[in-house]
Amino acid sequence: MKSTPQTPNRLQNLCDEHIGKVSDKWESYIDIYDELFQEIYGSVESILEIGIQNGGSLEIWSSYFPVARKIFGIDINPKCKLLKFKDERIKVFVGDANTREMVNMISEGSTFFDIIIDDGSHVSSDIIRTFALYFPKLKSGGTYIIEDLHASYWESHQGALNYNFSSIEFLKKLVDVVNFSHWGTDMSPSEILQSFINLYNLDLEPDLLLSIGSVYFQDSICVITKSSPAENPLGVRRIFGKDASIDDSVISFNHSTSATPTQYTNSLFNLFVDDELILKFAQNTAELTTKIENIEDELRVIKSSASWRYTKKLRQIRYLMSKFSQKK
């Protein structure tokens, strides 16, 4: 996503000219944001950013969105209480974003946001829980953005390539939700996310998931839009033109709707792996790993004890005697 000479990067200019509080963003994000917001920046009324660090991005947003009435930020760092802003539209909430108390605090009863940006811990469980808590607070037509998803491939952030319960795998599932009407099964949108719901204790109702309008990925970032659930989001089939000399049967499909065949006899569908089994395996593996670590800790304590050191010579003599016996 690059701005052209016809669409100058207004956000980049604001960032370059900014001399206030520090903002930290990857340069590709600036292009993405300008592409996303260049048509709507004059009408955005509210924005929420989770993870604000020094607060510079809030100052930049206050310049970028001239008619915004609420520019909110959340950060878990207690030092953020010290941040002061000249613009009264900016408000900072300090605490854990992934609590119902914080959601209620920033909502102020009926607040919904045009834009929500998750630039928080980048830990998979946090990203997924944050989405479940705050996507309901996004306006219809709004945009939800998750930054720094490269961390979802790292062990330090509860991730790995193809790890079933990482944030990136959760977001991939949302692509399936967008195409829900074509599954050919009676599964609900929540069912394919059930393992995440169980593991992370999420509240993800089918109607909420069906309000996902689109899911877009670019390097390290995901953009999710919200729309009103539609009975037939694909629309009707439209046939244009009159010359169908190769295949005239297509003419009869004008204004028809998509008919999804049942997929219960689809052998590939029957190979579908139950994420619940994977979850149980992952939990059992984690429990065994913990037990092994505990045993290793106990062995280290034993080996560092005085009695272990005092009996070292006896163990060596026993070993030599066993070797001597084998030779005889």
Range(s) of the domain holding residue 216:
10-226
Q: Determine the pLDDT at residue 308.
A: 64
Q: Please give, one letter per residue, the 3-state secondary structure of the chain.
A: CCCCCCCCCHHHHHHHHCCCCCCCCCHHHHHHHHHHHCCCCCCCCEEEEECCCCCHHHHHHHHHCCCCCEEEEEECCHHHHHCCCCCCCEEEEECCCCCHHHHHHHHCCCCCEEEEEECCCCCHHHHHHHHHHHHHHEEEEEEEEECCHHHHHCHHHCCCCCCCCCHHHHHHHHHHHHCHHHCCCCCCCCHHHHHHHHHHCCCCCHHHHCCEEEEEEECCEEEEEECCCCCCCCCCCCCCCCCCCCCHHHHHHCCCCCCCCCCCCCHHHHCCCCHHHHHHHHHHHHHHHHHHHHHHHHHHHHHCCHHHHHCHHHHHHHHHHHHHHHHC
Q: How confident is the model at residue 158 (pLDDT cuts 50, 70, 90)?
A: very high
Average pLDDT over residues 55-59: 97
- Region 43-62: mean pLDDT is 97
Total domain count, the chain? 2
Q: What is the mean pLDDT of the chain?
A: 87
Q: What is the pLDDT of residue 5?
A: 43
Are 166 and 285 part of one and the same domain?
Answer: no
Residue 235 located in a structural domain:
no
Residue 259: the pLDDT is 77
Average confidence (pLDDT) over 25-29: 95
Do 178 and 39 sit in the same domain of this protein? Answer: yes
Residues 218 and 291 in one domain: no
Query: Do 126 and 22 lie in a common domain?
Result: yes
For residues 214 and 284, membership in a common domain is answered with no
Same domain, 215 and 282: no
Report for 61-75, 173-187, 305-319: range of highest mean pLDDT: 61-75
Of 29-33, 151-155, 188-192, the least confident: 188-192
Kindly state whether residues 16 and 78 are assigned to the same domain.
yes
pLDDT higher than threshold 70 for residue 324: no
pLDDT band at 183 (very low <50, low <70, confident <90, very high): confident
Which of 152-166, 189-203, 243-257 bottoms out in mean pLDDT, i.e. has the lowest? Answer: 243-257
Domain match, 206 and 287 both = no
Percent over 90 (pLDDT), the chain: 60
Looking at the structure, tell me whether residues 207 and 72 fall in a common domain.
Answer: yes
pLDDT digits (tens, 9 = 90+) for 88-133: 999 999 999 999 999 999 987 568 999 999 999 999 999 999 999 9
User: Of 164, 199, 226, which residue is a domain's last?
Assistant: 226
Q: What is the pLDDT of residues 67-90, one digit of tens each?
A: 999 999 999 999 999 999 999 999
User: In which band, very low, low, confident or very high, does the pLDDT at 277 lie, cut at 50, 70 and 90?
Assistant: low
Is position 27 within any domain? Answer: yes
194 and 287 both lie in a single domain = no
CATH number at residue 18: 3.40.50.150
Is residue 193 assigned to a domain?
yes
